[in-house]
């Protein structure tokens, strides 16, 4: 039986050790060379744009989802909140100046209204048909007295808005009466409007609110109103009228006004002198609107109250004038009473002054067809106060107008016998007429 032989360790020779060391050095050298080659292949560093592009390329799906979520939240806010708020701000910034128009009284429940105004927008837009309610801002609760409709149209920059004449139903007569009172009394009058316009910016629709107070010039109680010509008719005409003439009614507003026929009580102080009717009170914008009138002057009542009348005229006569008061009593258009104008004029007294010389000359001229006889003698003997009238004429001789006239032209009789006969007939006729009322 063979005996196992013990393994003897292999001896490492110096030559083998050296060989392994050389191999390790070669491997390290090759690795270093490979790293150097890789560094050269990497090139220059990426720019920010390249980095962002590479980042988005890796995470584009996440960004897409985030964008969809953002738009789902933002777009409703944009269309429902932001754009309407911008449009509302534009509407709130509109002045809507009333540049012109017309107002016609048709009946107790209807008026015709036409208005010209202006809209200014920084963006092109379109509005649908818009109904505007007219009301007095001071009245509470809200109570519109009428409404007008503005037709839908395109707006770009400064755009003129024309509301053509349209028949409007009076919704609240007391409120309309209040507004007309302001129109007649004031130098500047307000009217408030309220509506809900629909505005389109392209295809985007916005429903906004309009609540504005607009201003326009008023009538200032017809400042400058006055009789231009006055004629007496004796005997009276078939309707009993014994005076007629023309009157100037200025219109300081921006609206052409058509009120119809207006009847005025004529008075001096507290003494009622008679009544006149101004026909077709159609007032164009401006200071000159000459209208015809006729009426009845109550001569017997005037003579009976000559004392109070003269006392009420003291201040005016010191200026060489006569003051007459007018109070509207009846307003009629198209055969119907117009209460919203009538109720205003019932409570307001309009005053006009007329030169004494002009008044007396007009009256004498209308009765005699001209002539240069003594007006003071005729009227003084009829009313029984020749001395007072002479005093008025003498006083007025100091005014600028009287400087251009001679005293003899008013206080002395003309030498023509025919004129003297006519004046005597006038005196007798007036006296007989006045005696009929006693």
The values of phi and psi at residue 130, to 5°, are -130, 125
The yes/no answer on whether domain 100-218 falls in CATH 2.120.10 is no
Q: To which residue do tokens 């007032």 refer?
A: 283
236: tokens are 């009276």
Task: Give the pLDDT mean for 295-306.
Answer: 89
pLDDT at 4: 45
Confidence of residue 371 (pLDDT cuts 50, 70, 90): very low
Distance from C-alpha of 308 to C-alpha of 336, rounded to nearest angstrom = 37
**Residue 414 pLDDT exceeds 50:** no
Q: To which residue do tokens 């105004």 refer?
A: 117
Distance from C-alpha of 399 to C-alpha of 390, rounded to nearest angstrom = 15
The CA–CA distances, whole Å, from 157 to 121, 123, 124, 154, 161 equal 5, 7, 7, 10, 12
Residue ranges of the domains in the chain?
100-218, 222-436
Q: Which residues does residue 264 pair with via DSSP β-bridges, in sequence order?
A: 276, 328
Most confident option among 16-25, 35-44, 310-319, 328-337: 328-337
DSSP 182-219: HHHH-SEEEEEEEE--EEEETTEEEE--EEEEEEEE--
Q: What is the pLDDT of residues 376-391, one digit of tens each?
A: 454 554 455 555 555 5
Q: To which residue do tokens 């023509």 refer?
A: 416
Residue 40: which residues within 8 A CB-CB, separation 6 or more?
none
Q: To which residue do tokens 């005729």 refer?
A: 378
**Residue 170 pLDDT exceeds 90:** yes
Confidence of residue 41 (pLDDT cuts 50, 70, 90): low
Distance from C-alpha of 216 to C-alpha of 147, rounded to nearest angstrom = 18
Confidence of residue 302 (pLDDT cuts 50, 70, 90): confident
113: tokens are 């209204």
Task: Give the pLDDT mean for 256-264.
Answer: 96
Instruction: Report yes or no: 131 and 157 within 8 Å, Cβ to Cβ.
Output: no
Q: To which residue do tokens 């202006």 refer?
A: 118
pLDDT at 36: 52
36: tokens are 């150097």
Q: To which residue do tokens 């030169």 refer?
A: 355
pLDDT at 406: 44
Residue 49: which residues within 8 A CB-CB, separation 6 or more?
none
Q: To which residue do tokens 């009622």 refer?
A: 272
Between residues 84 and 390, the one the model is more confident about:
84
H/E run at residue 257: strand 255-258
Angle between helix 386-396 and helix 375-383 axes, rounded to 10 deg = 140
Residue 162: which residues within 8 A CB-CB, separation 6 or more?
115, 116
Within 10 angstroms of residue 131's Cβ, the number of other Cβ atoms is 12
104: tokens are 């016609």
Within 10 angstroms of residue 288's Cβ, the number of other Cβ atoms is 11
Distance from C-alpha of 163 to C-alpha of 184, rounded to nearest angstrom = 23
Residue 138: which residues within 8 A CB-CB, separation 6 or more?
none
**Residue 281 pLDDT exceeds 70:** yes
Q: What is the pLDDT of residues 128-146, one digit of tens each?
A: 999 999 999 999 999 999 9
Task: Give the pLDDT mean for 348-369.
Answer: 76
């Amino acid at each position: 039986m063979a005996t196992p032989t013990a393994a003897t360790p292999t001896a490492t020779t110096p030559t083998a050790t050296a060989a392994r060391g050389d191999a390790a050095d070669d491997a390290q050298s090759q690795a270093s060379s490979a790293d150097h080659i890789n560094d050269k292949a990497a090139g220059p560093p990426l720019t920010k744009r390249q980095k962002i592009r590479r980042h988005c390329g890796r995470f584009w799906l996440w960004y897409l989802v985030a964008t969809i979520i953002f738009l789902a939240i933002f777009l409703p806010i944009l269309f429902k909140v932001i754009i309407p708020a911008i449009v509302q701000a534009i509407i709130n910034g509109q002045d809507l100046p009333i540049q012109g128009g017309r107002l016609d009284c048709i009946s107790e429940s209807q008026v015709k209204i036409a208005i010209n105004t202006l809209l200014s927008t920084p963006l092109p837009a379109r509005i649908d048909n818009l109904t505007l309610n007219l009301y007095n801002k001071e009245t509470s609760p809200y109570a519109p007295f009428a409404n007008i409709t503005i037709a839908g149209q395109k707006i770009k920059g400064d755009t003129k808005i024309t509301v053509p004449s349209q028949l409007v139903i009076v919704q609240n007569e007391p409120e309309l009466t209040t507004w007309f009172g302001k129109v007649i009394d004031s130098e500047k009058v307000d009217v408030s409007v309220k509506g809900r316009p629909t505005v389109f910016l392209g295809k985007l629709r916005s429903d906004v609110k309009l609540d504005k107070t607009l201003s326009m010039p008023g009538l200032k109680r017809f400042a400058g109103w006055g009789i231009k010509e006055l004629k007496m008719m004796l005997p009276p005409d078939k309707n009993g009228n014994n005076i007629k003439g023309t009157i100037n009614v200025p219109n300081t507003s921006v609206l052409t006004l058509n009120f119809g026929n207006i009847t005025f009580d004529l008075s001096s102080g507290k003494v009622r002198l008679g009544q006149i009717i101004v026909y077709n009170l159609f007032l164009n914008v401006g200071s000159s609107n000459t209208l015809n009138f006729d009426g009845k002057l109550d001569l017997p009542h005037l003579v009976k109250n000559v004392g109070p009348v003269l006392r009420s005229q003291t201040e005016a006569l010191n200026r060489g004038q006569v003051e007459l008061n007018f109070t509207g009593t009846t307003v009629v258009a198209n055969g119907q009473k117009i209460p919203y104008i009538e109720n205003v004029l019932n409570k307001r007294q309009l005053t006009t002054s007329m030169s004494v010389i002009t008044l007396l000359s007009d009256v004498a001229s209308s009765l005699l067809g001209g002539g240069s006889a003594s007006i003071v003698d005729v009227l003084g003997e009829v009313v029984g106060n020749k001395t007072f009238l002479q005093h008025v004429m003498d006083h007025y001789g100091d005014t600028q107008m009287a400087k251009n006239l001679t005293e003899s032209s008013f206080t002395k009789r003309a030498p023509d016998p025919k004129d003297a006969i006519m004046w005597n007939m006038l005196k007798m006729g007036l006296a007989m007429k006045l005696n009929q009322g006693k």
